[in-house]
Amino acid sequence: MASSYQVDIVSAEQALYSGDCEYLVATAEGGDVGIKPGHAAMLAQLKPGIIYITAPDGEQELFYVSGGSMEVLPHCVTILADTCTRASDLDEAAAIEAKEAAEIAIANKEGDVDYAAMQAELAQAIAQIRALEWQKRARK
């Protein structure tokens, strides 16, 4: 069995990653999914969360993804992200501020609030904070 497989991550704006991977974790609609070489073919919808890649040389890459889809084949994984950012490029203060603002808007029962939009913003802010936490743990 092969010890690695090809991973490509692309968004509407750019190609973010292309390389060999030994292990990948992605936040799918049904929960986090771990992919190793030779994984069964599958399609998964991604929700706001992380993409965590371990390369064969042990180097780790971490991305925040706002959603999208992932195609898994035994020798390659393709991720088509709505938006995707390297975790190192995220602004922790802005993510915390966005989370707090969304929580306040959801709690506010007065006014004209689009609760679905606020829930989506809250989910994205929480996912960004989670990506930053994973990145901090990976550095240790």
pLDDT at residue 44, as a whole number: 96
Q: Are 23 and 51 in contact (CB under 8 A)?
A: no
Q: Are 23 and 62 in contact (CB under 8 A)?
A: no
* Residue 48 binned pLDDT confidence (cut-offs 50, 70, 90): very high
Block residue for tokens 């606020």:
118
Specify the higher pLDDT residue, 99 or 46: 46
Candidates 82, 89, 80; CA nearest to 132 is 89
Quote the CA–CA distance of 84 and 44 in Å, as a whole number.
16
On the question of pLDDT at 4 being above 70, the answer is yes
- The CATH code of the domain at 5-86 is 2.60.15.10
Q: Do domains 5-86 and 91-139 have the same CATH topology?
A: no
What fold does the segment set 91-139 form as a domain? 1.20.5
Specify the higher pLDDT residue, 113 or 74: 74
pLDDT at residue 27, as a whole number: 93
pLDDT at residue 1, as a whole number: 58
Domain boundaries, the chain: 5-86, 91-139
* Residue 109 binned pLDDT confidence (cut-offs 50, 70, 90): low
Q: Are 48 and 67 in contact (CB under 8 A)?
A: yes
Block residue for tokens 């919808």:
45
On the question of pLDDT at 98 being above 90, the answer is no
Backbone angles phi, psi at 24, to 5 degrees: -135, 140
Output the pTM of the full model.
Answer: 0.79
Task: Tell me the three state secondary structure of residue 39.
Answer: coil
Task: Look at 65-69, 88-92, 99-103, 110-114 and tell me which has the smallest mean pLDDT.
Answer: 110-114
Amino acid identity of residue 42, one-letter, is M
On the question of pLDDT at 12 being above 70, the answer is yes
Quote the CA–CA distance of 127 and 130 in Å, as a whole number.
5
* Residue 76 binned pLDDT confidence (cut-offs 50, 70, 90): very high
Q: Are 35 and 23 in contact (CB under 8 A)?
A: yes
